[in-house]
Amino acid sequence: MQAWSHACKKAKQRIGFVPTMGNLHAGHLALVDKARQVADKVVVSIYVNPTQFGENEDFDNYPRTELQDIEHLKQKNVDVVFMPDSSEMYPSDKAINYIAVPDFATELEGLARPTHFRGVATIVKKLFDAVQPDHAIFGEKDFQQCLVVKHMVAEYGLAIEVHAAPIVRDADGLAKSSRNQYLTPEQRKLAPVLYQTLLGARQKVRAGNLSYSEIESQSIEFINKNGFKVDYFVIRDATTLGVPGETNRVILLAAKLGIPRLLDNLRVD
């Protein structure tokens, strides 16, 4: 992988990189399109990273659909599909040098999944070292992940431009996600409530008549009434994930519908 990347750099070709865990859907393919727009060569990695799964999370049963994924990527004329194995990514699996994550990584997704973001930051750094990209594209659906990656890139002073690509949605507003395949037909019908509530909350924030906490609790109540169990629904600063001011705000949510836990978010400004 590194030899190929060095040859590209010598030929002054810019590399765009899309890291994935496979099981690709239209959301991932939009990231590939973005990479194609900003770079000359496109690399996609497929690697199901064990260190970002918690003890109770089902690493072994994570859907692995490599052949189908490669077919999709061929259609997109991707230049390289990088599929390392764990002996390459974690050669000394007893002594992993984890990357430290910022405080905001312990909140929201980090509360539900305490070791998740250090696993993400660590594997993304390793993948960056292998692929040596000029541009890296991540989906904004994983909003907190994008911020963790940007933080890691700044910490190491990497010459990589990180792009957060807009969420791709089904026609009824449900954000594309590998987890959607686990929704029953009845649950799938309910799922657009999440996006509708985000839109409603954004309107309320912009109108400015209610406090942020009133908007959050009304939204949680509405989503729960529709059969979900909301984990969080918060209005935050879009750069620090801290207390929001009057601009640069984002609304983030996670909610369970039966087994699947769905994430979504919406920028206010």
Question: Which residue numbers are catalytic?
Answer: 28
> Would you say 242 and 104 are in contact if contact means Cβ atoms under 8 Å apart?
yes
**By CB under 6 A, residue 109 contacts ligand PAF:** no
Give residues 125-144 in contact with ligand PAF (rule: CB under 6 A).
142
Tell me whether strands 161-165 and 135-139 are parallel, antiparallel or unpaired: parallel
Of 32, 35, 42, 120, which lies in the binding site for ligand PAF, with binding defined by CB under 6 A? 120
**By CB under 6 A, residue 168 contacts ligand PAF:** no
State CA 241 to chain mean position distance: 15
Give residues 47-66 in contact with ligand PAF (rule: CB under 6 A).
49, 52
> Would you say 152 and 229 are in contact if contact means Cβ atoms under 8 Å apart?
no
Match 């969420």 to its residue by tokens. Answer: 167
Smallest gap from Cβ 206 to ligand PAF, in A, equals 30
Smallest gap from Cβ 188 to ligand PAF, in A, equals 22
**In 3D, which of 90, 87, 68, 91 has the Cα closest to residue 20?**
68
List the beta strands (DSSP E) in the chain: 15-20, 41-46, 80-82, 135-139, 161-165, 229-237, 249-256, 261-267
Match 């002054």 to its residue by tokens. Answer: 12
Smallest gap from Cβ 9 to ligand PAF, in A, equals 23
**How many residues bind to ligand PAF according to rule CB under 6 A?**
10
Taking the least distance from each CB to ligand PAF, the nearer of 127 and 193 is 127
**By CB under 6 A, residue 19 contacts ligand PAF:** yes
**By CB under 6 A, residue 21 contacts ligand PAF:** yes
**By CB under 6 A, residue 20 contacts ligand PAF:** yes
Give the dihedral of Cα atoms 179, 185, 186, 192; nearest 10 deg.
50
Q: Which residues bind ligand PAF (CB under 6 A)?
A: 19-21, 49, 52, 120, 123-124, 142, 145
